[in-house]
Amino acid sequence: MTETIQRFGYVGVTLVIGSLVAWALLLILIPHLMLIDYALHASPGAISRGAPTGWTFHSFLPLFDPDDNQLRSTLARTLATTAAITLLCLIVCYPIAYYLAKVATRGWLSLLMLALLVPFWVNEVLRAYAWRSLLSRNGLINEAAAHVGLGPFEFFNWQIPLIDANIALFVGLVYAYVLFMVFPIFNAIESLDRNQIEAARDLGASWWTIHRRIVIPHAKPGIASGCIVTFMLVAGSFIVPVLLGGRSSFWFTQAIESQFSVLNWNGGSAYALLLELICLVFIVVMMRVFGVTLRDITRS
Amino acid sequence: MPDRLLTLFTRLYLGVFFLYLLFPLGYMMLLAFNNSRIPTHRNFDPTLRWFGEAWSNNRMWDGVENSLWIAALVLLIAIPLGLAGAVFLTRFKAPGKTAVYAILISPILAPGIVLGISSFIFWSQQLGFRAGWWTAALAQSSFIAAYCMLIFLARLQRFDPALEEAALDLGASPRQVFLRITVPYMRPALLSAAALAFLQSFENYTTTYFSIGAQSTFTIFIANSVRQGVTPAVNAVAFVIVMATVLVAAGYEIARRRGERRRERARRAAIAAEMQEELLGKPAAV
């Protein structure tokens, strides 16, 4: 520490440590402790109806209500859809990322990167809105379908079996967050030495073996990072389900918001905390499965 | 699989993927030019009236103003914090760096709705500040500062500390070293962090919506217009945003390639000079 003080001076060290303490406490830790505190108390309304005043799991009870499974099915739909979308994005993006990182020529790469960056920087509200007009009754897709004698399709009420979300929401969520899968995998594959691929090919490895034994192991941190971020963004998405969800695809974030709209801060905090815990579990599981550290993940 | 077939399949796949990415944006932009009460391509009757209507909407300009103020506050908070974090993690000899890193980076991996709600509860409900610019800026800064820190970390890790040590040995104060050596070296990273922080702040919806109370921003204005049933004025706004994004992204890409070419030329010139020196035994003329 004396070495650090010599190097930066007392003022410098105080400024750096002071900023970090303020950042960690005021922007991250205390707000989170507050959220936990709110989640572990019953709302004033519930207390007036006889709920305990101290720390309690009362705000989580709607999840376990035996007579009303609406919240449980909302959570189940959100998680099933999110898992399906994360997996689909991974499968769709891996070839794209590999192509951009190792196959594309320089000129093509610039052009394609541009084509990726533009939708990436247009915000999620407009990305969802674009699909809303495209899939509406008067939209282009229904008109094209009508031309070949099909439809009209009710994309906003057409539930996908198993995951129970409507098709418009599914397509819109993939569209809004797919690029968060491309960039981490691209960065990871780009750092792979092309000679390794060439050597494997010269030694007679098939393209499938090359990917299974060389490219995918090297891209692990990028794959883990892409899956974690995509999962978190899809599960935590609010405006996309609002714009594309229709009547039947209520999203868990909408359940959080509905608590806030009736000024039940405790209920909203409890649901928000649950969402965060689920994302945390997903992160830990992914890190274990892929054997990567937090630094590997944030680097790509 | 024969190579020709593989190439054909790859091209087809790329084509479909990029069509999926770009077509919806193009369709949304096209609808801005149709003279119809609702956004549709049917009975296309070209007009520019929606651009005029969008321009004269005062609520949109209020939103833009709020967004700009919030972004300015975020820059003021997030850039110094990110820099302090990066300096601490690369330069300080201190214990517990892994834990500090994990805490500071955690907001990037948390859902935006949670960041917004926890900030709102702490600053507005608990401390009694009125929800608005400040609460939104603080909520956004919690994760934008971490992005800035990652940018600074990447650059600082490639920095040779010997430069700073030499300056110190020659009698410079830590302050002078920071302002005359570290900051100039960090300039490109500072610029990209500022650009990223501004964009992240300006575009953010979820965290802002849950922390700003009754106020609005540009992005919230767009979301509300879409929710309340739209006229193609929203598409006109979208057209402008997408065009601006294309210009900025293209400018960025051109600058990047130019920088790459400049570095390549400098490298070749250095090699040429070295060869001349070796072959002719004298420094090359500059």
A240: closest chain B residue by CA: B223
B-chain residues near A140 (CB < 8 A): 27, 41
Residue A54 forms part of a structural domain: no
Contact between chains at B42 and A236 (C-beta distance less than 8 A): no
Q: Do B87 and A116 touch (CB under 8 A)?
A: no
Tokens 């990037």 — which residue?
Answer: B108
Most A-contacting residue of B113, B149, B235, B237 (CB-CB within 10 A), to test interface: B113
| CB-based burial, B38-53: b 16+ in 10 Å, e otherwise | ebbbeeeeeeeebbee
pLDDT of residue B280: 66
SS3 B273: helix
Work out the average pLDDT over A34-56.
90
Among A112, A129, A242, the residue with its CB nearest the CB of B28 is: A129
Partner-chain contact B206 A118, CB within 8 Å: no
Task: Judge whether A58 lies within some domain.
Answer: no
| C-alpha span between A5 and B92 (Å, rounded) | 9
- Give per-residue pLDDT as tens, A261-299: 898 999 999 999 999 999 999 999 999 999 888 888 777
Number of domains in chain A: 1
* Three-state SS at B35: coil
A119–B25: do the CB atoms touch at under 8 Å?
yes
* Contacts with B210 from chain A: Cβ below 8 Å: 257, 260
Strands, E, within B2-125: which ranges?
Answer: none
- Among A126, A170, A229, A233, the strongest candidate for a mutation testing the B interface, having the largest count of B CBs within 10 A, is A126
CATH code assigned at A97: 1.10.3720.10
User: Is there a domain that residue A14 lies in?
Assistant: no
Q: pLDDT at position B177, please?
A: 87
What is the distance in angstroms between the Cα of B282 and the nearest Cα belonging to chain A? 37
* In a domain? residue A208: yes
Alpha-carbon span B252 to A191, nearest angstrom: 22
Nearest CA to B74 among B185, B186, B193, B206? Answer: B193
B100 vs B160: CA distance, rounded Å = 24
- Please state, in angstroms and rounded to a whole number, the distance separating the CA atoms of residues A86 and A229: 9
How distant is the Cα of B45 from the closest Cα of chain A, in angstroms? Answer: 16
Task: Look at B111 and A239 and tell me if their CB atoms are within 8 Å.
Answer: no
Find chain A residues with C-beta within 8 A of B18's C-beta. Answer: 112, 115
**For residues A128 and A239, is the Cβ–Cβ distance under 8 A?**
yes
Residue-level pLDDT, tens digit, chain B, 286 residues: 567 888 889 899 999 999 999 999 999 999 888 888 877 777 777 888 888 888 988 889 999 999 999 999 999 999 999 999 999 998 888 888 999 999 999 999 999 999 999 999 999 988 988 888 999 999 999 999 999 999 999 888 888 888 888 888 898 888 888 888 888 999 989 998 999 999 999 999 999 999 998 899 999 999 999 888 778 888 999 999 999 988 988 887 788 778 778 877 887 888 887 777 776 665 544 4
Nearest chain A alpha carbon to B173: A9
Chain segment A140-171, per-residue pLDDT in tens = 887 777 778 776 777 777 777 666 778 889 99
pLDDT at A183: 92
Cα(A175)–Cα(A163) distance, integer angstroms: 18
Residue numbers in B near A34 (CB within 8 A): 118, 121-122, 125-126
Put simply, the answer to whether B24 touches A295 (Cβ < 8 Å) is no
> Does B10 reach chain A within 8 Å, measured CB to CB?
yes
Residue A14, token pair as written in the block: 């105080």
Nearest CB to A118: which of B91, B123, B249? B249
Is residue A203 scored above 60 in pLDDT? yes
CB-CB contact of B207 with B143 (8 Å): yes
Give the pLDDT confidence of A69-128 residue by residue, as tens digits: 889 999 999 999 999 999 999 999 999 999 999 888 888 888 898 889 888 888 899 999
Q: Which CATH class is domain B63-229?
A: mainly alpha
Q: Pick from B238, B148, B130, B236: which is nearest to B190 by CA?
A: B148
Distance from CA of B277 to the nearest CA of A (A): 33
B127 CB neighbours in chain A (<8 A) are none
| Range of the structural domain that residue A176 is part of | 63-299
The SS3 of residue B46 is strand
Find, in chain B, the residue whose alpha carbon is nearest to that of A243. B227
By the 10 Å C-beta count (0-12 exposed, 13-18 middle, 19+ buried), A285 is classed as: exposed
Asked if the Cβ–Cβ distance from B104 to A20 is below 8 Å, we say: yes
Residue in A with minimal Cα distance to B177: A8
What are A282's two structure tokens? 């997903």
Tell me the per-residue pLDDT of A10-29, one tens digit each, with 9 for 90 and over. 888 899 999 999 999 999 99
What is the pLDDT, as a whole number, of residue B231? 83
Q: Can you give the residue ranges of every domain in chain B?
A: 63-229
